[in-house]
Amino acid sequence: MRTFDDAGIFAGHTVLVRSDLNVPMDNGTITDRGRIAASAGTIRTLAEAGAKVIVMSHLGRPKGAPDPQYSLAPIAPELAEAIGRPVTFAADTVGDDAKARAAALSAGEVLLLENLRFNPGETSKDDAERREFAAQLAALADDFVSDGFGVVHRRQASVCDIAELLPHYAGSLVRAEVEVSDRLLNDPARPFTVVLGGSKVSDKLGVIDNLLDRADNLLIGGGMVFTFLAALGHPIGSSLVETDRIDDVKAHLKRSEAGDGAARIVLPTDIVMAEKFSADAEHWVAESAELESTPAGASALGLDIGPDTAQTYAEIIAGSTTVFWNGPMGVFEFAAFSAGTKAVAAALTDEGRSADIDAAKRLTVVGGGDSAAAVRSLGFADDAFGHISTGGGASLEYLEGKTLPGLDALG
DSSP string, 346-379: HHHSSTTS-TTS-TTT-EEEE-SHHHHHHHHHTT
Checking if the pLDDT of 91 tops 90, the result is: yes
What is the Cα–Cα distance from 100 to 95, expressed in whole angstroms?
9
Task: For 213-242, write each residue's pLDDT tens digit.
Answer: 999 999 999 999 999 999 999 999 999 999
Is 184 known to sit in a ligand binding site?
no
Is 198 within 8 Å of 240 (Cβ atoms)? no
DSSP collapsed to 3 states, 65-84:
CCCHHHCCCCHHHHHHHHHC
- 255 among known catalytic residues: no
Checking if the pLDDT of 128 tops 80, the result is: yes
Is 50 known to sit in a ligand binding site?
no
Is 371 known to sit in a ligand binding site?
yes
For the residues of 246-305, what is the DSSP string, one character each?
Answer: HHHHHHHHHHHHH-TTPPEEE--SEEEEESSSSTT--EEEEEGGGTT-STTGGG-EEEEE
- 361 among known catalytic residues: no
Whole-number Cα distances in Å, 341 to 193, 200, 231, 280, 307 = 16, 16, 24, 18, 11
Which candidate in 35, 44, 101, 376 is catalytic?
A: 35
Which candidate in 330, 340, 369, 392 is catalytic?
A: 369
Task: For 343-396, write each residue's pLDDT tens digit.
Answer: 999 999 999 999 999 999 999 999 977 888 899 999 999 999 999 999 888 999
pLDDT at 28 (0 to 100): 82
Please tell me whether residue 307 adopts helix, strand or coil conformation: helix
Is 175 known to sit in a ligand binding site?
no
pLDDT at 114 (0 to 100): 98
Nearest Cα neighbor of 391 from 367, 364, 374, 408 is: 367
Is 302 known to sit in a ligand binding site?
yes
Is 369 known to sit in a ligand binding site?
yes
Sheet holding 168-170, edge to edge: 87-89, 110-112, 52-56, 14-18, 143-146, 168-170
Is 270 known to sit in a ligand binding site?
no
pLDDT at 292 (0 to 100): 83
Average model confidence (pLDDT) across the chain:
95
pLDDT at 298 (0 to 100): 81
pLDDT > 70 in the chain, percent: 100
What is the Cα–Cα distance from 58 to 78, expressed in whole angstroms?
15
DSSP letter, residue 336: G
- 393 among known catalytic residues: yes
Q: What is the average per-residue pLDDT within 39-53?
A: 97
- 330 among known catalytic residues: no
- Confidence bin at 6 (pLDDT 50/70/90): confident
Classify residue 317 by burial, with Cβ atoms within 10 Å: 0-12, 13-18, 19+.
buried
DSSP letter, residue 3: B
Which candidate in 85, 99, 200, 276 is catalytic?
A: 200
What is the Cα–Cα distance from 16 to 221, expressed in whole angstroms?
40
Checking if the pLDDT of 4 tops 90, the result is: no
Instruction: For residue 312, report the phi and psi dihedrals to the nearest 5 degrees.
Output: -60, -45
Task: For 244-288, write each residue's pLDDT tens digit.
Answer: 999 999 999 999 999 888 999 999 999 999 999 999 999 999 999
Q: What is the average per-residue pLDDT within 168-176?
A: 96
Residue 310, Cα to own-chain centre: how many angstroms? 23
Task: For 278-323, write each residue's pLDDT tens digit.
Answer: 999 999 999 999 988 776 778 899 999 999 999 999 999 999 999 9
- Confidence bin at 27 (pLDDT 50/70/90): confident
pLDDT at 26 (0 to 100): 86
Is 266 within 8 Å of 320 (Cβ atoms)? no
Is 333 known to sit in a ligand binding site?
yes
Is 370 known to sit in a ligand binding site?
yes
What is the Cα–Cα distance from 401 to 32, expressed in whole angstroms?
29
- Confidence bin at 104 (pLDDT 50/70/90): very high
What is the Cα–Cα distance from 45 to 263, expressed in whole angstroms?
41
Beta bridge partners of 301: 274
